Structure 1
Amino acid sequence: MKYCPRCERTKPLDAFARSRARSTGISPYCKPCYNLVIKENRARNHGSSRNYLLKLRYGITADEADRLLAAQGGICVICLRHPASHTDHDHDTGLVRGMLCFKCNNGLGQFGDEIRRLEEAADYLEGRSSHSRGLWLEFGATVVLGQSRRHLETLRGVKRADHLGSARHYKLRLKYGITEAEADALVEFQRGLCAVCSDREPEHIDHCHDTTAVRGALCLGCNSGMGLLADDPGTLRRAAAYLEGTLVTEVPVAGGGMRLSFTLPDVDPAEVADGGWERVRDADVRHRKAMRDAAWEAEWCFGGPFADPFARALTGGGG
């Protein structure tokens, strides 16, 4: 038994917090009182627990975080859809990069903060990735749907099974409209690697939620990351630019000073009214897609070193 001087009660030893600063290894306060003491000390020394945690984790104060959030117009700088509630930082340098919503912050983590994976995921969703090109060369389409599914099985010499099979077969038929043999053939077609990152073993069948067409087999990180970023190529490209350090910049303000800019065309975050971010986001995505299309067509379609019929077909150029 031990006496707690704060609540003035005698309690069993296991009711007391542990403390490495004490020779006994036990705090002088019981656990509820210890938590209150810690909270009071942080408020006295750092202003608040939030201020303490921000300085501990990211090296900024609560006031600095609030100013950054206000400079962003309160919106997540990647998706431009949800309020920013998480401080994001570079895990190598420790520098704060911006304020993000929960999904975008976790989406970057699922992709391992890898710019290449985010850009490849955007190409994959638009049917322009190396995986999409392989599907087009094999099936004449960038997704697995209809006859291309049966083609997968014939590549393996397996007869199509519509009704009978394992629990996995039943789940695949129910969720994605493909058989177990077709799923295995798709993984073999991808050489046992994720269709996006090509680094990890594919664990999940990915499909378009609108058309139900199967796009490929993905690893857990790429599948989860795309889901968190809403399977949206525009958001994925903004996320890649964010990690590159080209999405969020500072521009001068008339009369002096600087403000943040993170949209194309440039829009002052302070001038965006409530409910106005969707329009700004749509304009940004169209602008970035036009830039991407122009660069992609120049590289793949019109005499570039990688020009081929696949690129011309996707852009309506025939071939």
Structure 2
Amino acid sequence: MVVMNAPLSTPARTDDWHIDDVDLDAYLARIDHPVLTPSVDGLTSLHQAHVRAIPFENVDVVLGTHAGIGMPAITAKLVDRARGGYCYEHSLLFAAVLERLGFRVTRRMARVQPHKSGPRTHMLLSVHLDGVDHQADVGFGAYMLSPMPLVDGAVVDQAGWTHRITRDGPLWTLAKRVEDGWEPMHSSDELPNRPADYEVAHHYVSTHPHSPFSRKLVVMRLAEGLSRQLVGDELTVEHADGRVERRKVEPSELGTVLRELDVELTDDELAALGVVFESAVGTQSR
């Protein structure tokens, strides 16, 4: 008979996350932010600086060249290069930085569009400050500029778009204000996760044919009052005042558009992506 004494929610040890592999000075230089001590204002400032500096993008997933979500691979791309990544890369890096600065962090998982049937694969964080948990979500594309207090009914302006968080039993649901009410964005519980949980989720999201990230290019940027999203060959620019502009991106201008979205690729990466991009555009047009 096997006796299991440890609770299922036992968090991973800090060294399991390899936080010492992060060059803290290099990261702070990358986001142009000074060293700080833990506080709500400090968390907000770091969160906003990270989102402004490091793009959300899935170029390596589309190319089939993703180096994985180990901390050395993440820092080599997001810190040492002018590149971005998707939720696991952003949140694993941000969690490590926060812990190096003295914040207390829980790594969590969410289900995007919880009113639909998608998997529970989005990574986000809880940061514990002054008796209140705060949801940090630097890897949620072009939606979250600031942390949200985990307080039922809390409403926060996110770069000009109103978001609300509500609790229903063990689940916290993030919703965005839209014309006819509130659109659910994702839902999550407070169960801590382990490195293997994100490895499994990353494998699904980066390789499964039903994953939206394995099939088409996705690049997202968020600034005050402005959301820019390149999905496939469609570039959407949304303004907080309600204006929306959409246009098709031609293969010949892909490099220029990516640079405008702060994604700097090598010539080889851009050439390989151009082949995939042009093929996808051709397939859609037939």
The reply to whether TM is greater than 0.5 is no
Pair member with larger Rg: 1
**Which structure shows the bigger proportion of residues in strand conformation?**
2
**Which structure shows the bigger proportion of residues in helix conformation?**
1
TM class by shorter chain equals under 0.3
Q: State TM-score, norm by structure 1.
A: 0.20
Q: State TM-score, norm by structure 2.
A: 0.22
Indicate the structure whose relative CO is greater, using CA pairs within 8 Å and at least 6 residues apart: 2
